[in-house]
Structure 1
Amino acid sequence: MSVLSSARAGTEPPPSTADEPGRLTVVPARHPWRWIGAAAVLVLVAQFTHGLITNPGWDWGTFAGYFFEESVMRALLVTLELTFAGAVLGFLGGIVLAPMRLSHNPVLRAVSWTYIWVFRSVPLIVQLLFWANLGYLYDKLQIGVPFGPGFAGFETAHLVSSFGAALLGLALHEAAYAAEIVRAGIISVDQRQLEAAAALGIPRLRQFRRILLPQAMRAILPSAANELVNLLKSTSVVYVLAIGELFYQVQVVYGRNGRVVPLLMVATVWYVVLTAVLSVFQHYVERHFSRGWRR
């Protein structure tokens, strides 16, 4: 035993220094391409900013002079009116169409599906022109017995104004997309929760208000906010009806003075500002409905 012990003692390796923190050499990870990419991006941003400031083609003096000009402010108000009214009417229609699409009644389901299919297929600008020419398609509308005699009628030539046609087109177009957004939010909620609530005797209205709606809103809000921003920008399409919204008014102004780029920048910056306001509003609404979900 003593011989083996002496042999083992003679062949033992030197003590390891792996457990001694003072002798460890820590080498940080190198990311040279990350820094090279960041430097390249900063150079491009600096060049773009320098061009914005020094290029006389942007004509920032004209931009500043028309940014708060009275006609532009009136046009901005029209844009906000179209956006707000179109969003309210569109989502009200979507709230009706979504349950129809989920209904067990084949007629309601077919009508909802057909509406969504048609209004998502036809471009918005075509829909606006159709509604603006409603008087050409139907010169007179009557109220009476279906396929029978009419009790009262009125001419359609002056029934729908340009603003009414724009609002009608935006609302009907928006309803098709809002219906799919609301439907996605409803089916994202586990239906077994509603079954459990019904088994406990909770009324259906309270089931919708306290169980279904708060959870569905978490799925609805991001897509709904995105659709609202898209509606804000889609109001520029109503220029075909000669409505004095923001983009149309900017076209009128640069048609008079020939300052195309600075006037387009006026519209661009206003759209960016309004989108930023909507994004802030979206953040706080989403935070409200996210309570209890993220700890």
Structure 2
Amino acid sequence: MYALIEIPTKGLDAVSAGAAVVGVVALVAFPLIELRHPDPLLPLSLFRSAQFTGANLTTFTVYAALSGALFLLSLQLQQSMGYPALAAGIATLPITIIMLLMSGRVGALAQRTGPRVPMTIGPLICAVGLALMTLAVPGSTYLSGVLPGVLVFGVGLSITVAPLTSAVLASVSPDNAGVASGVNNAISRLAGLLAVAVLPVIAGLSHTGAGAPLGPGFGRAMLISAAMCAAGGVLAWLTIDRARKVDAYPLPGVNHACQDPCTCQFGKNRDQAT
């Protein structure tokens, strides 16, 4: 990440080159070590599941678009449209509000219908929202230039996130649920870091001066992000099982009430031994 951020702006020096080499070696070594370790941190066998792999690829594309687009939207609002920092932050607050209102309902619906349809529709709606963010240019108002894209993107994200988590957990055995959740979370963070480092370069914003308007590169970045979200929707349609749902596997706590005679007798004997 350090190399990806520093090289486009400062050129290739010893530190950034060293960081790039160390990063590449680590990325190559990690799966090799995991394959040989008797108790791997990340069992690579999980990726034999097409749904697990597809759900994580969808996570990567959607969260990369989310992080890169919102990062650049914040800069666009401040550097190109003159918003104060606090106002730029509040401008995207509707996304959070929409997710609070919708995510639980969408998750319950996905439990009944399966995650495939919402995971396809959600990223496509996100793509429309990101395309609408190209309207956020100097001279436009918040209501006409910013809010439409923010609202549509918030709806798409709300439709996507809960079914996405369900699809990941449904693709593995209960014993691997924790690992699957951790992998999905790590991939979402990795996607965001990569997007913030790489998207400005691809969109032609790497040489924009500190505090300078972003210019036409902002629109290109939003369209690239929209294409990534749309690709996530296509991946979900091709890889996610339409009918597979998530079963709950509650683990009893230390003081969990006994539920059957065998468990109760075991608990009684254990207490007597203690």
TM over 0.5: no
Q: Choose between structure 1 and 2 for higher RCO, CA contacts under 8 A separated by at least 6 residues.
A: 2
Coarse TM-score class (shorter-chain normalised): 0.3 to 0.5
Tell me the TM-score normalised to structure 1 length: 0.31
Larger Rg over CA atoms: 1
